[in-house]
Structure 1
Amino acid sequence: MAILFDSDINWESCLNFGTRQFFKEKTCIYQQGTTGDRFYYIQQGLIKVTTTTAIGKERLLNIGIPGQLLGVQAMDRQPHFTTATVVNDSILYFFSCEHFQKLIKYQPSILNMFIKTVIHKMHILADKIYLDTLLPEQQLSVILLNICYEFKNFEVPLTQQDLTKCTGLTRITIYKILKQWKEEEIIEIHGKKFIIKKPDELKKLLGKVLI
């Protein structure tokens, strides 16, 4: 399992403070505009995080994978500004505000990791302003780099089908982009995961670093 940021937190022991939940594909975990009072740890599955514009258009912000946290921005009981939807059947642990207080007493380093997560999620939301003007390969670059930013390594546990479901790009478009990146040795594809060998090349595609 990937490790969030450069942390040595043993999440397996921390899960005892949370409540295990199973979510079926296409289930909404939380909705934009609803009041938050908990955060989630993704143990298994894939979560699409989106926001809805003033004209009602859905925009993809991020893809949640095992080892990541969801809903941290609304832990102060403020409205969610994103919607989290299950892409594949998933297992998550939720932690209420009360759970969180007990958790940071058990492992104080979680508070620092929690703050980093909130800051990163805010950056993702701000960067979305630019994403709509980007080409498909640039959009895909941002999504993959956002995922890798949160982990020690550059292994992304996603398939081409996962990226198609989450991004809204066509299967052919995803295939062509990944095929080109593979030929240029920017990425390697191993079964159900990508290994990003040259992240700087993906950043160059953007013209500026968005993460």
Structure 2
Amino acid sequence: MTAPKLHRSLIQNMEMFRALSDDELDRTLEHAQPRRLLPGDAVYRQGELAGYFFILLHGTLKVVQATAEGEQVVVRFVSPGDVFGIARMMRRPDYPATVLAVQESLVLAWPSSEWERMVAANPQLTGNALQTVGQRLQSAHSRIRELSTEEVEQRVARAILRLLDQSGRTSDEGRIEIDFPITRQDIAEMTGTTLHTVSRILSLWKERGIVENARKRVIVLQPDELIRYAEGAQGSRHPEPA
């Protein structure tokens, strides 16, 4: 039985595909496979053969990497419209990290063998992918610098601000919420610290009216104060080691 044809409306409003004609969009989708994911499902795992590359259509994904010491690091979160799994472009045969669904999500998957054909038909895809890789490298360098030079409260504040910039949703009351589930353990793994330390910091900020915590939710009430923490202008009276 032939699989139903994917409609071009799935991707035609994405920046990298806007310059394509309807026929080009149809050809781009010819080999695409939709995959629906439930929270906790893996798109792929670190070390697996890189047989596909992907675009997230809906939901949120988490990129995690296991270190040589067996620790888990949250590298970043994937938002709708992002291309990921482009190991083929990096000339590596396997995926360097694991990608997990944070909430119910929908991705499109293409066989890695389609990368060259799609790039030839859509040069903007190459530019978008290069920009994506460049941004990820810049972010990685920034995080290495933060781990080396900044206090843990600064790192936690910066991590939350990055998530707000990526997926923040502002209410009528001016509260800004990270628009997907995130745990304190996620924040700890993003910032190279412990769950205990993140819990202590968020509890302190809650007492000061800067954030509000709920299960798998972080809501920022005073973003200006959080920026001050990120800039190192003020810190905990009782700092703990990371």
TM-score range normalised by the length of the shorter chain: 0.5 to 0.7
Q: Distance in 2 between matches of 1:206 and 1:74?
A: 40
User: In the TM superposition, what is the alpha-carbon distance from 1:71 to its structure 2 partner?
Assistant: 1.1
What is the correspondence of 1:182-201 to structure 2 with a 5 Å cutoff?
182-185=221-224, 201=227
| Pair 1:16 & 2:24 matched | no
User: In the TM superposition, what is the alpha-carbon distance from 1:163 to its structure 2 partner?
Assistant: 2.9
What is the correspondence of 1:1-211 to structure 2 with a 5 Å cutoff?
7=15, 9-10=17-18, 13=25, 16-17=29-30, 18-75=32-89, 76-130=91-145, 132=147, 134-136=151-153, 138-142=155-159, 144-145=161-162, 148=165, 156=168, 159=178, 162-164=181-183, 166-168=186-188, 169-170=198-199, 173=202, 176=206, 177-178=210-211, 182-185=221-224, 201=227, 205=231
Q: Distance in 1 between matches of 2:132 and 2:221?
A: 30
Equivalent in the alignment of 2:236: none
User: In the TM superposition, what is the alpha-carbon distance from 1:50 to its structure 2 partner?
Assistant: 1.0
**Letter in structure 1 aligned against 2:100:** T
Work out which of the two has the higher radius of gyration on C-alpha atoms and give 1 or 2.
2
Q: Distance in 2 between matches of 1:99 and 1:167?
A: 36
Deviations 1:77-127 (A, max 9, x none): 422221111111110001223322332233221111111112223334444
Q: Distance in 2 between matches of 1:167 and 1:20?
A: 30
The 1:111–1:135 alpha-carbon spacing in structure 2 relative to 1, beyond 3 Å, is same
Return 165-174 or 43-52, whichever deviates more: 165-174
Q: Distance in 2 between matches of 1:96 and 1:202?
A: 45
The 1:110–1:71 alpha-carbon spacing in structure 2 relative to 1, beyond 3 Å, is same
**Letter in structure 2 aligned against 1:145:** R
**Letter in structure 2 aligned against 1:82:** A
Q: Distance in 2 between matches of 1:73 and 1:203?
A: 36
The 1:164–1:44 alpha-carbon spacing in structure 2 relative to 1, beyond 3 Å, is same
Aligned pair count reads 185
Q: Distance in 2 between matches of 1:63 and 1:33?
A: 19
Return 8-17 or 113-122, whichever deviates more: 8-17
**1:24 and 1:88 in contact (8 A); partners too:** yes
**Letter in structure 2 aligned against 1:103:** M
Return 54-63 or 138-147, whichever deviates more: 138-147
Deviations 1:131-173 (A, max 9, x none): 556525533524653785xxxxx66467366232743555982
5+ residue gaps, structure 1, are 149-153, 188-200
**2:43 and 2:99 in contact (8 A); partners too:** yes
Deviations 1:180-199 (A, max 9, x none): 95435589xxxxxxxxxxxx
TM-score by length of 2: 0.59
**Letter in structure 1 aligned against 2:105:** S
SS at match of 1:116: helix
| Bigger RCO (CA 8 Å, 6+ sep) | 1
The 1:160–1:49 alpha-carbon spacing in structure 2 relative to 1, beyond 3 Å, is same
Q: Distance in 1 between matches of 2:141 and 2:52?
A: 23
5+ residue gaps, structure 2, are 1-10, 170-176, 189-197, 213-218, 234-242
RMSD: 3.9
TM-score by length of 1: 0.67
User: In the TM superposition, what is the alpha-carbon distance from 1:56 to its structure 2 partner?
Assistant: 0.8
Q: Distance in 2 between matches of 1:171 and 1:73?
A: 38
User: In the TM superposition, what is the alpha-carbon distance from 1:7 to its structure 2 partner?
Assistant: 4.6
